[in-house]
Amino acid sequence: MRIDVEFRAVRPSTVSRARVALLARAQLWLLALPLLCSVAHAQPVNPDFQRGMDALQAGDNQHAAEALDAAYRADHSSLALLNLGIAYTNLGLLNHALDALEGYVRQADPTVDAQNIAAVRAEIDRLRNSNAVIELHATPAEVQVELDGQPVIPRAQELVVAPGNRRFVVSAPGYQPYDQTMAVPVGRFALDVVLQPVPAIAPMVAPVPVAAAAPAAAAPPPSAAAAQTASPPPPPPKDEDKAPCLLGETCLGPLLELGIPNVLGGGAHLRIGRYLGAGIDYQVIPMLHLGSVSAGTSLLTVEGRIYPFGGAFFLAGGFGYQHVLARASKEGATIEASVGIPTFKAGLGFMGHDGFVAGIDLGLMFPLAGTDVSLRMTAMPASTTGTAQAQIDNTVSQLQSDARKGVHNVVRALPFLFQVNLLRIGYLF
């Protein structure tokens, strides 16, 4: 970029007030600036300002920016800020240019410099609307940023960048730098950069001489149509940045379980991101037969989980239903007892995030109202009469009433039930 600046000499007789007329004309994407007339009270010429104006007129924008910055630091002249913004614009350092031009708008006299202020505000709007505005989100927060080899400072986490092939280098002490060249079109985009720590101990490898690489051919500039429709390609994903599961950060899969008192079980478990999860499990003690008596239990639980530290440890809460079934037979008569206990479940444990997982957990189940007890007794028809069957029915009714009271008393006496899963093993996709 180059800006041509034309100066008109000031007559020595004009001592009380000097007029300096600036005509700025930018090439390529920089539109022509209007004629800017700045008025300043007569004072000795700052040598840095004069040196900067000479360099700007000669097209040496780098030295012009250095000299005009020194001039502004010396006397805080708004005219130095204005020309410093022009030099930075020619260098492509648009963040610095906006800082200087916005500083001029704040510092200039709103009455004397009203026309110049309006022109500079129009140029500020043009710079923001005709270039790329990149929102930079970096980890760690304190980073140094270079654009095409020049250090830049984001303004409210934003970088204003001229369209084209641009090289971004983001670095921080103790971290490996991010270095990426990308084609940047006009528009607003977000750039997320996560720097990785430098390994504590670098491997000691003998140096291997290598031949100097030939300079890479410059990439052709993007066409106008591509610049309007394309978006800057994201940096190539690193292994740790790739989505761990088929559904991105949401992982789902089956598990097998061994526990106490319900021994065998299976379930489906869900992990959403680093901090949330859920599960549904069905666990049983198979029917055990001891002589004429057989018994078994089953437990169905549904729970939500919170992983407070983003790792394997979790806290859980949900609901369960514990069912107990027992049968006894003697001389052709069978009695069957069924007890269903709804519960609130709270627990804690450990479970992985994705892929092959193994875990362990403890759940406490607090009985709720609504415990159901049923008792059924049958006898062989050939060994009973109508009167005997009626007596059996009365006996069963009395036993069922007594059993219901007994079970309710036991449930109320128990502070909680429990289920310890000694091993959960499975795969989350």
Say what the pLDDT of residue 63 is. Answer: 94
Which are the contacts of 35, defined by CB distance < 8 A and separation ≥ 6?
21, 22, 23
pLDDT digits (tens, 9 = 90+) for 384-408: 555 666 776 777 677 777 777 777 7
Q: What is the mean pLDDT of residues 94-107?
A: 92
Report the C-alpha gap between 274 and 368 in whole angstroms: 32
- The span from the CA of 38 to the CA of 258, in Å, is 84
88: enclosing H helix or E strand? helix 78-91
Q: What is the pLDDT of residues 6-54, one digit of tens each?
A: 333 333 333 333 233 333 333 333 333 433 434 344 445 789 999 999 9
CA–CA gap between residue 367 and residue 76 (Å, rounded): 77
Neighbours of 191 (CB within 10 A): 20
Report d(CA 40, CA 53) in Å as an integer.
16
Q: What is the mean pLDDT of residues 138-166?
A: 89
Please tell me which residue, 384 or 287, carries the higher pLDDT value: 287
- What type of residue sits at position 61? N
Helices (H), 92-239: 94-107, 114-129, 224-229
Q: Average pLDDT of the chain?
A: 78
Tell me the CB-side half-sphere exposure of residue 40, using CA atoms within 13 A: 17
Q: What angle do CA 144, 145, 146 make, to 5 degrees?
A: 130
Residues found in the chain: 429
**Structure confidence by residue, pLDDT tens digits, 185-208:** 999 988 899 999 998 765 555 555
- CA separation for the pair 132, 74 (Å, rounded): 33
Is 3's pLDDT higher than 70?
no
Determine how β-strand 250-260 pairs with β-strand 264-272.
antiparallel
The helix or strand, by DSSP H or E, that contains position 55, with its residue range, turns out to be: helix 47-57
Burial (CB < 10 A; 0-12, 13-18, 19+), residue 141, is exposed
Q: How far apart are CA 234 and CA 105, in angstroms?
A: 36
**For the residues 280-288, what does the mean pLDDT come to?**
93
Which of 350, 367, 273 is CA-nearest to residue 316?
350
173 backbone dihedrals φ, ψ, rounded to 5°: -60, 130
pLDDT digits (tens, 9 = 90+) for 111-132: 989 999 999 999 999 998 999 9
Q: How many CB atoms lie within 10 A of CB 197?
A: 10
Kind and range of the H or E element at 358? strand 355-367
